[in-house]
Structure 1
């Protein structure tokens, strides 16, 4: 069973990187906002097909949309912003650095959510996030120095 979860986690990571690259190429071909639009159209079509074949389609009729908090709808806006920024940044930043930026962002947003929703502040998560951030900054400085050295040698 552990192998199954490992495989799912690995597949999720691979599809995230592949989606970023495909979205970037699509944005380069048809434009940033148009690429994001088609990304969401395909996403809603795929989600609708999965919903039709799932057992949860029957529960939609009992759902009261007015009971959903307004802040829940901001997830779509945040998703659009992430796709636009990712499509814009992918040709300019390596996939490795993008993945690290997303990871660091998830760590610190998770800390903020835990603080405001659960009233918990994890010192371990903060220290871990700061260590990853410093590691990223250190790696960026090394890459910058190597690029300068290569530029001078040419």
Structure 2
């Protein structure tokens, strides 16, 4: 459990650094060019990893339902949006808004799928997220 938490924190740090770098690229090239570079380099590195380490080739694509590829579309949308907002809102505000959106959406998905049991802490947590977003937006 502690290892997974550490990896998740490392992943969050990587997202923050990636968004910051892509935000700088966005200022000169635009959010879509920054997103293309992000995905092109990521695709290249992950493709090499899959081909040479896991030894999985194109048959994997044939076995994957088409619906699962929508995750890539959503991911590209996320990178483009993040690249756009980071240089305009700053890392702290952008990060909080993005994480707030992720947490609220995660709760909604859990409820819609029926995988989460309701307890009073959940709406309280969402209220605190919204309060934090409000405070970072309007505080000086």
Larger Rg: 1
Residue 61 of structure 1, aligned match among 59, 66, 70: 59
Q: Tell me, which stretches of 5 or more residues in structure 1 are unaligned?
A: 144-154
Residue 103 of structure 2 corresponds to residue 104 of structure 1: no
Q: Which has the higher contact order (CA 8 A, sep 6+)?
A: 2
Q: Please name the residue that 1:86 is paired with.
A: 82
Q: Deviations over 1:32-72 (max 9, x none)?
A: 222211111111111111212333616x636644x6152x2
Q: Tell me, which stretches of 5 or more residues in structure 2 are unaligned?
A: none
Q: Please name the residue that 2:32 is paired with.
A: 33
Q: Please name the residue that 2:134 is paired with.
A: 137
Q: Please name the residue that 2:13 is paired with.
A: 14
On the 8 A contact 1:107/1:125 being kept in 2, the answer is no
Q: Aligned residue pairs: how many?
A: 139
TM-score, normalisation: structure 2? 0.82
**Shift in alpha-carbon separation, 1:29–1:55, aligned structure 2, 3 A:** same
Q: CA RMSD in A?
A: 2.4
Q: CA deviation at 1:5?
A: 4.0
C-alpha distance in structure 2 between counterparts of 1:48 and 1:14, whole Å: 23
Residue 70 of structure 2, aligned match among 64, 68, 74: 74
**Shift in alpha-carbon separation, 1:131–1:56, aligned structure 2, 3 A:** farther
